[in-house]
């Protein structure tokens, strides 16, 4: 697979990464560890070098899975992880679904890094994101703490997740930001207004998570899809039957382009993202080998300027229904 550089940094990764959250967290019960280890190995064998996890996924068990599975490939892969949620015993430990509080105090960041280093079985964290902006802690203090950790050799690169353009600028002034991770896809285009122009100006890479709309843009879901109560999508406004029915128009658009390109809707959704900027690296998640191979196939699809104009023109006429997150979680984004 071709590689891409995240902004002006020296961090080079596969054009498509692998989001590992769903292997242990949020999409129903944790999957079988042996099966997920095989999947992670299969990804490496197929050229994927960029893997995404976080301490809150589980908590902790996703980092443990990724660390153990990728230990044989140390030095050949890039593992990104995240800090920023309060995971102390008196807080709700359920992660995104239960919405624990935020905590990016410097001492908490240092504690999180020590835990992540052990679980990931590495000497230094390749890319460390602040998972969500904590308005109780100045972003300069967060960036300064990560700067110290980089100086100490415990972290290599600094990232932010779901941060606003002003916050990115303030952090970047203290410690250069290598990558920003936010949700971005054909049905979540918020970053285009301010974040992407800021990243281009500052030379920062962009890592879209949920590039397949949490599975919806694959064309395998509709208003009749029944989500398990342990699947966090069952709590999301965009996954009500009414919203899924309305948003089917976007899947139909992808399907029509896919038929012409002898591809799948998921591949067109990913190819569209890859075509936006050369410093964009989507991280679709999956727990299935056939889906992994399908996603990787998107890197070989070339969308022409006419294809891209057609997609943009048609998508602009489709009003996406439903918020990304319930209100409490939505308030944690774009700060």
Domains recognised in the chain with CATH numbers: 3-330 (3.20.20.100)
Query: What does the chain come to in residues?
Result: 335
| pLDDT tens track for 62-104 | 999 999 999 999 999 999 999 999 998 766 544 444 457 999 9
pLDDT at position 99: 55
Q: What percent of the chain has pLDDT over 90?
A: 96
pLDDT at position 280: 98
Q: Report the pLDDT averaged over residues 170-176.
A: 98
pLDDT at position 330: 94
| pLDDT tens track for 224-278 | 999 999 999 999 999 999 999 999 999 999 999 999 999 999 999 999 999 999 9
Residue 34 makes CB contacts below 8 A (sequence gap 6+) with none
Q: Report the distance separating Cα 193 and Cα 254, nearest Å.
A: 23
Positions marked catalytic: 57
- Please state whether the peptide bond connecting residue 180 to the residue before it is cis, i.e. omega within 30 degrees of 0: no
Backbone torsions φ then ψ of 182, nearest 5 degrees: -150, 160
Which uninterrupted H or E stretch holds 3?
strand 3-5
Q: Report the distance separating Cα 291 and Cα 314, nearest Å.
A: 26
How much is the pTM?
Answer: 0.96
Calculate the average pLDDT of the chain. 96
Whether 245 contacts 222, CB under 8 Å: yes
Whether 244 contacts 313, CB under 8 Å: no
Task: State yes or no: pLDDT of 127 exceeds 60.
Answer: yes
| pLDDT tens track for 27-73 | 989 999 999 999 999 999 999 999 999 999 999 999 999 999 999 99
The two structure tokens encoding residue 331: 């308030």
Backbone torsions φ then ψ of 102, nearest 5 degrees: -95, 150
| pLDDT tens track for 184-209 | 999 999 999 999 999 999 999 999 99
pLDDT at position 212: 98
């Amino acid at each position: 697979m071709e590689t891409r550089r995240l902004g002006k940094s020296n961090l080079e990764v596969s054009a498509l990464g692998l989001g590992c959250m769903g292997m242990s967290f949020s999409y129903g019960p944790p999957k079988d560890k042996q099966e997920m280890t095989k999947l992670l190995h299969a990804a490496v064998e197929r050229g994927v070098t960029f893997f995404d996890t976080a301490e809150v996924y589980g908590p902790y068990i996703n980092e443990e899975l990724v660390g153990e599975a990728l230990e044989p490939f140390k030095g050949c892969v890039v593992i990104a992880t995240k800090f920023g949620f309060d995971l102390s015993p008196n807080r709700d430990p359920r992660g995104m679904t239960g919405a624990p509080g935020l905590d990016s105090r410097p001492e908490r960041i240092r504690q999180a890094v020590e835990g992540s280093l052990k679980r990931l079985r590495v000497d230094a964290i390749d890319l460390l994101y602040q998972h969500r902006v904590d308005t109780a802690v100045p972003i300069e203090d967060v960036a300064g703490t990560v700067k110290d950790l980089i100086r100490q050799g415990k972290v290599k690169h600094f990232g932010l997740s779901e941060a606003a353009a002003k916050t990115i600028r303030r952090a970047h002034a203290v410690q250069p930001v290598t990558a920003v991770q936010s949700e971005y896809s054909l049905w979540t285009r918020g970053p285009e207004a301010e974040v992407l122009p800021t990243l281009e100006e500052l030379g920062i890479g962009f890592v879209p998570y949920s590039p397949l709309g949490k599975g919806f843009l694959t064309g395998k879901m509709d208003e009749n899809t029944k989500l398990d109560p342990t699947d966090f999508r069952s709590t999301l406004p965009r996954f009500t039957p009414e919203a899924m029915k309305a948003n089917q128009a976007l899947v139909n658009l992808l399907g029509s382009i896919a038929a012409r390109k002898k591809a799948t809707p998921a591949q067109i959704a990913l190819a569209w993202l890859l075509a936006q900027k050369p410093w964009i690296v989507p991280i679709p998640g999956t727990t299935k080998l056939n889906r992994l191979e399908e996603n990787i196939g998107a890197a070989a699809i070339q969308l022409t300027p006419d294809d891209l104009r057609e997609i943009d023109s048609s998508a602009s006429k489709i009003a996406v229904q439903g918020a990304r997150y319930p209100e409490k979680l939505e308030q944690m984004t774009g700060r």
